[in-house]
Chains A and B, each alone.
Chain A
């Protein structure tokens, strides 16, 4: 699971307070860094869709928010690229901040299935 995906996933357990399911807390037991060819245009397109605060929680090397003109700031885009696309959680757990429900990640794939009672 890449951090880009983590930035967009939410818990959907029944009875959560509004927005209570996001962001999921990552507890990783195995992480891999896998190079992906850098594509500045793609990373720049992602910026408006990201939830920056959630990304900051997952990473330390970023500024408090994207500065104007980020589309041309290659150093920034490369750091963002690395974080969003090259870091993969292979094994671990995503924990719902509100309910505590744990969603497992195995072989890089998060399992988001809930039972009927939970939804």
Chain B
């Protein structure tokens, strides 16, 4: 029988102040990976860096921190209050038997202080730490390498222009573990050997793997794999990865480099080489040249997660294989130059179709409980929740916005397969309308550039005067 939230131990999660909307789904997904669920006695303030969570065990808290890139640290919460007085009172009523194991005379410790939205002087820090002398610390202070580290955390609010004299909230706790934010630097796209025009930044690609509940020994697939950046984060978490892309040159690592000052992609620039750069080559399964609107996989539940960033039609063309006739009519044409296989590739793949095909693909090829994580480009003036594509086999888990410009953004959509796929007539237009009532995605490219086009038109008019 599950214990009531208020009986579970309390932990303080200290979060990084970026990608604010993405944090709660990340933490929730990760807790569920370890058999827990997101639980908090009070409403958490979603934009605050301080969350008090009820987590059944320290092991689960550590599990969370082994994966999260949104949270900096987690502490076993011993007390908190809206003033120093309240904090000390809370500490005095914290059960002694829970404190004593960490205050033993043969142990070492130190106390540190962190203030959010305010810089404290050294004197102030020392004074606040000294005020905790009433706690029964029996061990020896060791500033270099203590066994236990305790923290005072002070919250001076969210407004850098209105910093109060006293903090709004104070917390005291035992440090448990840090998160994985150092991965952001070590996997930075700046250092990666093989990139494309639209390679995903490292932090977001780890967030995607976390939203996708990727676990060791999963098989993760990216149907728009490009240079494989999204696969790297899944491989880092122990999944075996594969991907497909319609662009022969990208898959093979040929053609012009995306990196400035680099003339061509080196001989070993491809997805496999990217994984090798991070010691993750053993997780490389395969890459294919393939058109994701025309799946090449035999029927069955093959993938544990599908994590992808489909083309939006702005910096990479949206493409699928087309006939000669279609190609002559369409405004944009690209030859895929490969000696043995000149397949004519047209740009007439409408964005709505990409998502329809993607959801259908996920519904069919994901294992039950498997997740689809993908970016949806949004024209903000027309956005409502109804335009999020849906499918009867997939349940919407989260929807997080990242602004691109004043009138455009993209949303990270996470869906989970909850129902077995039945091969009915999936191509009927009635189904199409039901699952994708909004066709505005198709003109995303025009809308994205509409601000630019209007400005250029106005400038031309002004110049003609």
A interface list, Cβ under 8 A from B: 1-2, 4-5, 8-12, 22, 36-37, 39, 41-42, 45-46, 49, 51, 85, 104, 106-117, 119
Contact = CB atoms under 8 A, between A and B. Distances in A.
Contact of B289 (A10, A22, A42, A110): A110
B218 to A, nearest CB: 8
Q: How large is the interface on B (under 10, 10 to 19, 20 to 34, 35 or more residues)?
A: 35 or more
Contacts of A2: 285-286
Given A5-B242, A9-B296, A12-B295, A113 B289 contact: yes
B298 A109 contact: no
Nearest to A42: B217
B338 interface: yes
A14 B113 CA distance: 67
B217 A45 contact: yes
Interface stretch (B319-327, B400-408, B437-445): B319-327
Nearest to B322: A116
Contacts of B217: 39, 41-42, 45
The 10 closest A-B pairs by CB, nearest first: A116-B323, A112-B290, A5-B286, A111-B289, A42-B217, A113-B343, A10-B298, A112-B296, A22-B298, A37-B282
A48 B46 CA distance: 41
Contacts of A109: 251-252, 286-289
Given A12-B294, A106-B340, A112 B326 contact: no
B248 interface: yes
B341 A111 contact: yes
B290 A113 contact: yes
B298 A5 contact: no
B326 A116 contact: yes
A85 B285 CA distance: 7
Interface of B: 216-217, 219, 240, 242, 244, 246, 248, 251-252, 282, 285-291, 294-298, 300-302, 321-323, 326, 336, 338, 340-341, 343-345
Contacts of B322: 116
Nearest to A14: B294
A11 to B, nearest CB: 8
A113 B291 contact: yes
A61 B1 CA distance: 49
Nearest to B343: A113
Contacts of B300: 8, 49, 51
A59 B300 CA distance: 22
Contact of A119 (B246, B251, B287, B294): B294
A107 B242 contact: no
B51 to A, nearest CB: 33
Contacts of A107: 252
Contacts of A46: 219
B434 to A, nearest CB: 25
B352 to A, nearest CB: 19
Contacts of B326: 116
